[in-house]
Structure 1
């Protein structure tokens, strides 16, 4: 889950916390591995009888996953022209994305349109005037004001045979347990917590057909239990969306949160404490 701030804009320390988490977890690796296994067949279904493909990434962050998706799409259809629209509120993260594109020679063939704005602003701007073959909302639906209306809109701008992919925390797993159990982590400065059950409820309300898959993944949080560990403190910042975990809570609250993380959100193996970072991937068809 991307580091939470009240705004959807990730700059400065918020962007750094997010990047720190990515460097110390395998979340993107797990997502990319899953997509490499499942997207080629989905791409072939969606591209039937088409001369070009239009892709929309919303809340794409630094572009690490987008670059892999676009590269996979290119390798699946070497002759089809591809265009990409990217919606991301953070100038800082978008600069990272653009740098990745410059380093990836094959992506030089793709025309990119960059939208530095929130999902809500993009919806107002586009107003249904553009349609896409493939749209992905990866770890970003925590930041939309109205989940059902957002899904409805993005589904409405899919072309024939198009696909909408939503990746979010899995209901009943560790993120879900942490954020629904610990009242101290919920305040007016954090976006509303959502998990896969919220997405599925919206899809059912809209009457849309979907397929849900799990993306299993864990990451090592052993150092979170060492107050002198820089890595541990950085990960706790991310896990709790708190700038300084040890200074932000009383000793008793700190102890309660750490106990919850260790006993309800993690498993121990070979001397390591592993946080269960299982995700849900939902494919929604046009």
Structure 2
């Protein structure tokens, strides 16, 4: 084998370097911080949705592919203030087959003290095979955070996750969008490593969910970016980050291929005074286990922790209001329900109305909803 043949295809990442490369890539990105912030801002809303539908005093969570537990610890801490009055206990099961990541998770747990009513278990297993995690338990929340890449059949994993979710529960998927690294992967991964097996984006997940009937989900866009300064400097750290992004060891690939890869990245990166960054937003899916129709609601990034709008929309009997308002007219002939939202702002109330209220009104059986928005701020109207 000559020199060119030897380096024509980069070898896969070996287990002894995977954890190190993963950590460097994670440190260079805001994905983890953005994910943690999203959970902090939305967990109360999710728990409020479920607490009125369950009588169990234990909130149960299953985290699939938990990694080092940095996100999980933050999720646990964000849950605790919102357990009462419905739940008195928290049961948190984490699955992590990587021994290095699992060890670090256990170390993090020892660094954090939880009360006796909090039970956290880290299992040496994965979720990919039926015999690797045999549990008859159903969970209130099942988390798939940046982990679907590692399964050969993501659709089956989502189905299994839903199967282990309580009727009133939610499956939450956090995943990379099609923007950023996936764009680079589609251009170069086949040439670099000989396959594109690890390419999976939120768009792929949406297509898979569209093929399944009966699942209601909400989708949130969350901003994130990757610092690629070290990659452009072609430092040792930068090469390891690139290797993790391309799912192969680029230290052993031909320089010509590496040069083409870096050029593609430069074409998409934003050059700043403090360095170079690549925009790589993530998406969050909230999938309801129980639903009567298959529909999708896209919700933009929401960093405002105040959820008064959603609470109001959720708890009021809107079906009764509209039924009495129209004196049964909707039951007789098709009609259009026209709503005017005065001082709509950026559309937070409309988002809440679409999710909680419109499904109630649709049960009346006829007509369509038409929304008119009024606000004196042009920028707010554009966001709405």
* Pairing 1:12-27 to 2, within 5 Å after superposition: 12-27=16-31
Distance in 1 between the 2:40 and 2:67 partners? 20
Q: Deviations over 1:68-111 (max 9, x none)?
A: 11111112115620111111111110111111111111266422
CA drift of 1:125 comes to: 4.7
Which of the residues 94, 102, 105 maps onto 1:94?
102
Instruction: Please name the residue that 2:161 is paired with.
Output: 154
- Gapped regions of structure 1 (runs ≥ 5): none
Deviation at 1:271, TM superposition (A): 5.3
Do 1:169 and 1:196's aligned partners in 2 also have CA atoms closer than 8 Å? yes
SS in structure 2 at match of 1:40: helix
Aligned residue in 1 for 2:225: 218
Q: Which residue is 2:262 aligned to?
A: 258
- In the other structure, the counterpart of 2:82 is 76
- Whole-Å separation in 2 of the counterparts to 1:250 and 1:125: 39
Take 1:234 and 1:102, find their aligned partners in 2: how far apart are those partners? Answer: 30
Q: CA RMSD in A?
A: 2.2
* Structure 2 counterpart of 1:278: 281
- The CA distance in 2 between the partners of 1:61 and 1:282, in whole Å, is 19
Q: CA deviation at 1:153?
A: 1.4
Q: Distance in 2 between matches of 1:148 and 1:175?
A: 22
How many corresponding residue pairs? 273
Aligned to 1:165: 172
Q: Which structure has the higher relative contact order (CA within 8 Å, separation 6+)?
A: 1
Q: 1 CA distance for matches of 2:12 and 2:148?
A: 13
Instruction: Tell me if the contact between 2:28 and 2:228 (Cα under 8 Å) persists in the aligned partners.
Output: no
Query: Distance in 1 between the 2:116 and 2:266 partners?
Result: 45
CA contact (8 A) 2:193 2:248 kept: no
